[in-house]
Amino acid sequence: MVMRKIVISIAGYGVVGKEFLRLIKEKKEDIKNKYNLELVIGKIIGSKCAIFSDEGIDVEELLKLSLGSMGLKEYCCIKNINFSSNCELIGDIFVDCTPTNLESGEPALSYIYEAIEKNMDLFLASKGALVKNYKSINEKVKEKNLNIKFSGATAAALPTLDIGQICLPLTTIKEIKGILNGTSNFILTSMIKNKMGYEETLKLAFNKGICEKNNNLDVSGFDTACKMVLIVNNILGKEVTLDDVEIQGIENVTNEDIKKAIENDSVIKLLGECEVNDNKVKLKVSPKYISNTEQLAKVDYNNKAIVFNTEEAGEIFCSGGASNPRAAAYSILKDILNAY
């Protein structure tokens, strides 16, 4: 068989973008041998500048340098090339590693439309553009018969879409629920296990590097809601938006609530829930008491989980999938491998 060469444009060169390059480099021979694919990085677009190369960027060299646009500039210096402000996508695949922006969906949204225009397959890790414009993106992608995958935006290494699509096709799904946000689960688990207050726990999570300074999307329940919207649209073929989700975060969970949970041999989890009745869906995100006898109660700290309740295959529970840049990057690579 002839080796297939695939040229990739990446937008966003933060920790996930860089880890994705590291994986491409580490797995290069396996990808060639087992998938007959040669993945070439044609372009990387940072927040301040971009680099590109027709023969493929020298990933090994780039990985030794800084993160972000700084690293891209250093690369230009070393290779004695001019860094570019030209952010046009090139090649066969667009990989999105930009930060999630729920207001405008940018910068991912513009790149997505450009990629579709250029008949590129899409592998997305940020949620904003997808959640805000799912219907329009989906229609354009179908029209052009392109691949679109976004495990990176739906709990990454925890298989959510894969289980729905591959393990449960044509089942009658009665309910989907999940613990889908690592930061809020870390906070709730710490409150229960260490009997600490909300603010104190938040500080601990920040100091441990588990949550960022701006954790509003996490604790408000919006990150969970985004993931539920994408999972439900993808697996149940719906076109719901954030407006269809009743959202309550964990900011108001009190020490009293925690005490009550412990007294009842329970825990509190921020749960995303989707009930399906007569092909209609009802979506909700809220903190819930869960008995310690349930599997979901054992999903601790920054772990995540998803449960599918089906008529034909019973209940499928899946947890794990480390919350770290390497696992997030891996979920993009896995999507690419499964697409070809």
Please report, as ranges, the residues that interact with its own copies according to CB under 8 A: 23, 27, 30-31, 34, 157-159, 162-163, 166-171, 293-295, 298, 312-322, 324, 326-327, 330-331, 333-334, 337-338
Nearer to its own copies, 18 or 334 (CB): 334
Question: What letters, b where the CB count within 10 A reaches 16 and e where it falls short, cover 36-72?
Answer: ebebbbbbbbbeebbbbbeebbebeebeeeeebbebb
Is 227 labeled as catalytic in the residue annotation? yes
Question: What letters, b where the CB count within 10 A reaches 16 and e where it falls short, cover 235-247?
Answer: beebebbeebbeb
Catalytic residue among 149, 227, 284, 288: 227
SS3 8: strand
What minimum distance in Å lies between the beta carbon of 2 and its own copies?
A: 17
What minimum distance in Å lies between the beta carbon of 291 and its own copies?
A: 11
16 is in an annotated binding site: yes
Nearer to its own copies, 184 or 309 (CB): 309
299 is in an annotated binding site: no
Rounded to a whole number of angstroms, the CA Rg of the chain reads 21
What minimum distance in Å lies between the beta carbon of 166 and its own copies?
A: 5
245 is in an annotated binding site: no
113 is in an annotated binding site: no
Nearer to its own copies, 49 or 332 (CB): 332
Cβ neighbours of residue 15 under 8 Å, at least 6 residues apart?
Answer: 67, 325
13 is in an annotated binding site: yes
Lookup result for tokens 């896995």: 334
CA dihedral sign, ordered 118, 223, 328, 238: negative
How many degrees, rounded to 5, is the angle at CA 202 between CA 249 and CA 125? 65
Nearer to its own copies, 69 or 151 (CB): 151
Question: What letters, b where the CB count within 10 A reaches 16 and e where it falls short, cover 129-161?
Answer: bbbbbbeebbebbeeeebebbbbbbbbbbbbbb
Kindly list the distances between the CA atom of residue 322 and the CA atoms of 139, 158, 181, 305, 326, in Å, as whole numbers in the listed order. 32, 8, 12, 11, 9
What minimum distance in Å lies between the beta carbon of 52 and its own copies?
A: 26
DSSP state at residue 133: S
What minimum distance in Å lies between the beta carbon of 169 and its own copies?
A: 5
Nearer to its own copies, 266 or 324 (CB): 324
| Terminal CA-CA length for the chain | 14
209 is in an annotated binding site: no
Beta strands per DSSP E along 155-213: 173-179
In the chain, the amino acid numbered 317 is F
CA pair distance 164, 231, nearest whole angstrom: 8
What minimum distance in Å lies between the beta carbon of 118 and its own copies?
A: 25
Binding-site sequence positions: 12-17, 127, 212
Annotated binding residues for NADPH, written as ranges, equal 127
Active-site positions?
A: 227
Name the binding residues for L-homoserine: 212
Known binding-site positions for NADP(+)? 12-17
